[in-house]
């Protein structure tokens, strides 16, 4: 891992352990430049699709993380990325030969951004090559696969992180700070709505074999994860109901719309909607005995907007993937601890909940959760 000197710190977020400062201090901490002179995480991106491109572009503003390699099954994409990001030929791999990264000292970590069903095998191969892994969410298509990925990374003594970008988003972290400080009082209710009308019916997200499901695996997971970090507890049970209006597009095993409910040990109840057939769903609402928080949009690429009983959330917008990669570099290189975990165990909890939601929708029963 090398160093890059004389770069301005464009993002004032300190590595992972973000200070709980007043609102006025957030703006200053985010925009005040400082010189960074330290280790840099050298990353190869696996999967050069739309989101991979978004991450790559965002990383151009990073000082602690640098894009140095690519892994793809499409030679033309590799060539385009080489030209755009000045990636050397020796750091380019395909899906058959990327195990050879074990002999490449210029790559520290691989960010796996491929269809959900491919994560399991690809993450394990990266771990066996001795490289740290960042895996896009959902980390796998079943809890069994997720556990095997965690075990493989532990055996190889490499870190496994999951791409939960919202765990570093300033307005989200302010709501968590307020909750921790007791400013909402006892939390009584959470509502999470995540969804949109999906486009191309031939895309992999509507293929059960590649996606592992439908809207729940792609967008509903945001609401699940959001309730956990906003309430600050793990759910105890789940009930669910599925609605399917277009079985031609949403075939067997690919959920179109699911409404589900969860209960938490402190007494809070939560209501959720996950859909691939309803637009304008990107809202979180938290209600406590002393106050509330509402975020809309709550998980989009930004800017996130929110308000509480104390007024509008005013933390400045920063590109989510830039902050995410800066903070993940701090976790991997410096052992930083994030306010909200992004490790494999965090990803596994969401997979266990999703599995229970599918079971509840299928059986009509209330399913207990043990996370």
Dump pLDDT digits (tens) for 317-359. Answer: 999 999 999 999 999 999 999 999 999 999 999 999 999 999 9
| CATH, range 7-165 | 3.40.50.720
Say which CATH topology domain 181-313+344-368 has. Dihydrodipicolinate Reductase; domain 2 (3.30.360)
Mean pLDDT over the full length of the chain: 93
Given 93, 111, 164, 222, the catalytic residue: 222
% of the chain exceeding 90 in pLDDT: 90
pLDDT, tens digit, for every residue of 265-293? 999 999 999 999 999 999 999 999 999 99
pLDDT, tens digit, for every residue of 6-62? 333 333 333 333 334 444 344 444 444 568 899 999 999 999 999 999 999 999 999
Q: How confident is the model at residue 116 (pLDDT cuts 50, 70, 90)?
A: very high
Residues 6 or more apart whose CB falls under 8 angstroms from that of 305 comprise 171, 295, 296, 297, 313
**Contact in structure between 52 and 76 (CB atoms under 8 Å):** no
Predicted pLDDT at 177: 98
Active site residue 137: yes
All CATH 3.30.360.10 domain ranges of the chain, comma separated, are 181-313+344-368
| Residue range 112-117: mean pLDDT, rounded | 98
Active site residue 349: no
All CATH 3.40.50.720 domain ranges of the chain, comma separated, are 7-165
What is the pTM (predicted TM-score) of this model?
0.91
**Contact in structure between 216 and 274 (CB atoms under 8 Å):** yes
| Residue range 78-87: mean pLDDT, rounded | 98
Given 64, 66, 137, 349, the catalytic residue: 137
pLDDT, tens digit, for every residue of 181-219? 999 999 999 999 999 999 999 999 999 999 999 999 999
pLDDT, tens digit, for every residue of 128-156? 999 999 999 999 999 999 999 999 999 99
How does DSSP assign 23-64, residue by residue?
Answer: HHHHHHHHH---EE-SB-EEEEEE--SHHHHHHHHHHTT-SS
Within 13 Å, how many C-alpha atoms sit on residue 342's CB side? Answer: 30
**Contact in structure between 174 and 26 (CB atoms under 8 Å):** yes
Helix (H) / strand (E) containing 110: strand 109-112
**Which residues on adjacent β-strands are paired with residue 194?**
274, 282
% of the chain exceeding 70 in pLDDT: 91
């Amino acid at each position: 891992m090398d160093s890059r000197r004389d770069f301005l710190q464009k993002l004032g977020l300190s590595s992972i352990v973000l200070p709980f400062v007043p609102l006025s201090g957030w703006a200053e901490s985010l925009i005040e430049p400082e010189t960074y002179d330290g280790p840099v995480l050298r990353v190869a991106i696996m999967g050069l699709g739309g989101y991979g491109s978004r991450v790559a572009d965002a990383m151009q503003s990073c000082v602690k993380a640098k894009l140095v390699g690519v892994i793809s099954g499409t030679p033309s994409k590799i060539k385009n990325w080489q030209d755009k990001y000045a990636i050397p030929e020796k750091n380019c791999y395909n899906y058959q030969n990327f195990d050879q990264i074990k002999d490449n000292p210029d790559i520290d970590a691989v960010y796996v951004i491929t269809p959900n069903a491919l994560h399991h095998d690809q993450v394990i191969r990266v771990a066996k090559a001795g490289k740290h892994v960042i895996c896009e969410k959902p980390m796998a298509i079943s809890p069994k696969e997720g556990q095997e990925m965690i075990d493989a990374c532990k055996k190889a003594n490499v870190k496994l992180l999951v791409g939960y970008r919202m765990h570093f988003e300033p307005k989200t972290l302010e709501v968590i700070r307020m909750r921790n400080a007791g400013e909402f009082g006892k939390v009584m209710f959470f509502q999470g709505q995540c969804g949109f009308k999906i486009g191309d019916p031939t895309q992999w997200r509507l293929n059960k074999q590649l996606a592992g499901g439908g809207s729940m695996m792609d967008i509903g997971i945001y609401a699940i994860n959001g309730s956990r970090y906003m309430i600050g507890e793990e759910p105890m049970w789940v009930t669910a109901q599925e609605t399917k209006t277009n079985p031609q597009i949403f075939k067997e095993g690919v959920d179109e719309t699911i409404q589900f409910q969860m209960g938490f040990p402190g007494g809070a109840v939560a209501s959720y909607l996950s859909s691939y057939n309803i637009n304008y769903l990107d809202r979180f609402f938290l209600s406590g005995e002393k106050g509330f928080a509402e975020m809309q949009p709550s998980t989009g690429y930004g800017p996130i907007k929110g308000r509480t009983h104390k007024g509008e959330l005013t933390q400045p917008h920063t590109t989510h993937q830039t902050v995410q990669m800066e903070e993940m570099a701090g976790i991997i290189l410096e052992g930083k601890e994030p306010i909200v975990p992004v490790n494999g165990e965090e990803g596994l909890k969401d997979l266990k909940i999703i599995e229970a939601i599918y079971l509840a929708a299928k059986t009509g029963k209330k399913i207990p959760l043990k996370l």
